[in-house]
A and B are shown apart, each in its own frame.
Chain A
Amino acid sequence: MTATTFRIWRGSRGKGAFTDYETQVTEGMVVLDAMHQIQAESAGDLAVRWNCKAGKCGSCSAEINGQPRLMCMTRMDELPANELVTVEPMRAFPHVRDLVTDVSWNFEVKKTIRKFTPRKPDAPDGTWRMAQEDVDRVQEFRKCIECFLCQDVCHVIRDHHKHDEFIGPRYFVYTAALEMHPLDTEDRLRDLKEDQAIGYCNITKCCTKVCPEHITITDNAIIPLKERVIDEFYDPVVKLVRLFRGKKKT
């Protein structure tokens, strides 16, 4: 058991300051345990958003020693020993109180993405057949727990505040899951290019690094979507073919 100091951001609506709290750290403890202990010992009204405490719901996102992480999956023994631990709210979203931010923008963005639209069932029993290898890559995207750490770390959102123009890595993963779904028939490429600014992403892969589910966001979701957008709208061969056939762009 060792006494550890936590420097926690306290305050409301962006106004506030760091406050130091000391608490005992025991074997196997995670940062979220320390926050709960501090609530029970000395700061009964410390605002923390959390649910499952098992890395499955994605509620307890915060910045620990400057890194976007889940508090419930950050073990104390992986942080530098005998050093102060800073805990701050995510910076890419409006502040509510202490460690809690207003993430509602994310939920609004999701509604703007065209919904899953399956082809008609084509198996004799009125359902579909799908091979495991065809669902594998989409299942990777569907592991997402919507913790929004990828949104938090993305410089387009965090530093350039393009919340109104850009949907962020979470929703490129979401769109990729729909576009690569074996049954889906909808086309979301024009939206990606024109309304969702996929071009703003310059593949620095910060999102992939912070993903607690280890989804290869950039390589498996964003780059393939970028390629599809390029093929659809910028490929010179396709353009020529279209010109001769007189076919309108879809």
Chain B
Amino acid sequence: MAEYERVEHDVLVIGAGGAGLRAAIAAANSGARVGLVCKSLLGKAHTVMAEGGAAAAMGNVDDRDNWRVHFADTMRGGQYMNNWRMAELHAQEAPDRVRELEAWGALFDRTTDGRILQRNFGGHRYARLAHVGDRTGLEMIRTLQDHAIHMAIDVHMEVTVVQLLKDGERMAGALAYDREKGRFKLFAAGAVVLATGGIGRAFSITSNSWEYTGDGQALAYQAGAELVDMEFVQFHPTGMVWPPSVKGILVTEGVRGEGGVLRNSLGKRFMFDDIPENYRPQTADSEEEGWRYVMGDKAARRPAELLTRDHVARCIQREVREGRGSPHGGVFLDIAWIKERIPDAAEHIRKKLPSMYHQFMQLANIDITTTPMEVGPTTHYIMGGIRVDGDSQMSSVPGLFAAGECAAGLHGANRLGGNSLSDLVVFGKRAGEYAAKFVSTRGRGTPAASEADGAVNRALAPFDRAGSGEAPYAIQHELQRMMQELVGIVRQEDEMKRALENLKGLRDRARRVAAEGNREYNPGWHTALDLDNLLTVSEAITRAAIERKESRGGHFRDDFPEKDSQYAKFNIVVRKAPDGSMQLERRPIPPLPAELAAIIEEQQT
């Protein structure tokens, strides 16, 4: 029998970014004994990277805003692929979740009358993002972390889950290892909340850190849960492109919210050339009107730079492909130009975008108050993920919940900037509460010992191949390059079929992967174990992307460049078939209730 330490909790939360922390707090508030597993140290999760803000229709800056407008904006941004119940709950509950953060110590930027200030962002009709300069995510994660450490929550830092454990059909725990010593832990829990974030590391150009290897999506899939919308990956339009070592690091949309403009090598603001029909009524006719909007003129409409991310990313790619790009293969993002319009522009930029100022100064020797940045698309976020019930966030496996990026539904085919931070707290809270409720009514299961033993043996296998097998880094790099090239921002059937073939080959190599050295804090071993998850999510993304023969939101097909109304009727569900193969299903989208349909209708203009 394999050796492991046994740890018991009522609710086990896997992942300690905004969603995981909020879920842990909610479960503890419901009286559950909570374990919180972090892949890294507490407070280092990707939430710290979020810059722009949390979208919540509080109406502090523009009193025309309310949840109905936010709901309609989210659905329009998601091209109506969204789980409408989640979009409804999110729009209704986000303001309370943001105010709650303030009650726990968060200090958002203020309006002149002392309320929480809100900023403009792509796809949001009114100024809606509560923010702290351009480090909103850090403020959120620190607030949640500092609140949680005074509660009955056991934190397990630098612990990675390798398998979920079931008792019959229900969730019963997880098997994990700690990075420091490489020892195994068996978590027995009545319910599990997955809050593991994204899949960015499946691509070579990404804003995501090493942790985002699709763990939650893959663990849930292996445990029999359904994934949905996996073809919808968001390529953020503005990542750094130079120097090479920082390629992909995020440049916040807040730059454009504060008046930054995109220009090609001819100096032209190309975003005004291609405005999608359904956004025309809300988009400025001229650069002049766009500037008035940035300055808070309520009669003015958004500049074209603030169209949705999927659209802006493709326009940038078009400019580069057609030879109008910047020297290092991006376009120019210029915030320095606002000095023509406002006094003390340099000071204003440093105040509103301090971390962007530092990032470019330190990593690229560029002063953004005087010089345009070079930017290009970077893999940022996956809209798809674990299919959950809109109210409870429970997956198709009883007792397995998911929240935040690893869950799917809220964002549909494309996420609006700012809707992620609010997603974390709205659905983190719901997942934690419903998980605690699940345990109080259904009690705990007993994780199957055979499953745990199997997981330990699989995890240790790379050491058995030391000296003979292949090192993991080359396999990981090849997977990332291949996905970027063949299943990236512009897709085609034949390329994606080639990607599926390549994935088979990479999986064979991953089966022979070796780890050198011992189990103590061994990154080679960890990379080897992460490969499985990366391969699973890459296959799910590729298969779903082949299945959707149209272009919609984050999913763009060169061979089917238009939207197809037939494809508006269903989501693509991915699950593991009894024979172990990956199975796809077209699942009809349930009809909108009349009152929500009416909101979308009234918000069309």
Contact = CB atoms under 8 A, between A and B. Distances in A.
Contacts of B41: 49, 59, 103, 107
Main secondary structure of the interface of A (DSSP, over half): loop
Contact of B149 (A47, A97, A110, A143): A110
Contacts of A51: 40, 44-46, 209-211
A143 B136 CA distance: 10
A73 B362 contact: yes
B245 interface: yes
Interface stretch (A28-36, A156-164, A221-229, A239-247): A28-36
B146 A47 contact: no
Contacts of B267: none
Contacts of B460: none
Nearest to B110: A132
B114 A27 contact: no
B363 A116 contact: no
Interface string B485-518: 0000000000000000000000000000001111
Interface string B34-49: 0000001111111011
Contacts of B522: 45, 47
Given A30-B363, A75-B362, A111-B150, A48 B523 contact: yes
Interface stretch (A14-22, A123-131, A193-201, A203-211): A123-131
Nearest to B471: A44
B359 A54 contact: yes
B364 interface: yes
Contact of A110 (B46, B135, B146, B521): B146
B146 A138 contact: no
A28 B242 contact: yes
Interface in A47-106: 47-59, 73, 75, 96-98, 100, 102-104
B296 interface: no
A179 interface: no
A158 B238 CA distance: 41
Nearest to A106: B41
A26 interface: yes
- Looking at A40, A45, A130, A142, which has the most chain B CB atoms within 10 Å of its CB? A45
Contact of B44 (A46, A58, A102, A135): A58
B105 interface: yes
A79 B321 CA distance: 37
- Name the interface size band of chain B: 35 or more
Contact of A52 (B49, B113, B132, B472): B49
B363 A143 contact: no
Given A57-B48, A107-B42, A12 B473 contact: no
B266 interface: no
A52 B141 CA distance: 14
B125 interface: no
B474 A40 contact: yes
- Name the interface size band of chain A: 35 or more
Contact of A45 (B107, B246, B477, B524): B524
The 9 closest A-B pairs by CB, nearest first: A28-B243, A129-B114, A45-B517, A44-B524, A116-B105, A47-B521, A40-B473, A132-B110, A97-B521
20 contacts: A28-B364, A44-B523, A45-B517, A47-B520, A47-B522, A48-B523, A51-B45, A51-B211, A54-B49, A54-B249, A55-B355, A55-B362, A56-B138, A59-B44, A116-B147, A128-B102, A139-B132, A142-B107, A142-B139, A184-B105
Interface of A: 12, 26-30, 33, 39-40, 44-59, 73, 75, 96-98, 100, 102-104, 107, 110-111, 115-116, 118, 121, 123, 127-132, 135, 138-139, 142-143, 145-146, 178, 181, 183-184
Interface of B: 40-46, 48-49, 99, 102-105, 107, 109-110, 112-115, 132-133, 135, 138-139, 142, 146-147, 149-150, 155, 157, 180, 209-211, 242-246, 249-250, 354-355, 358-359, 362-364, 471-474, 477, 515-518, 520-525
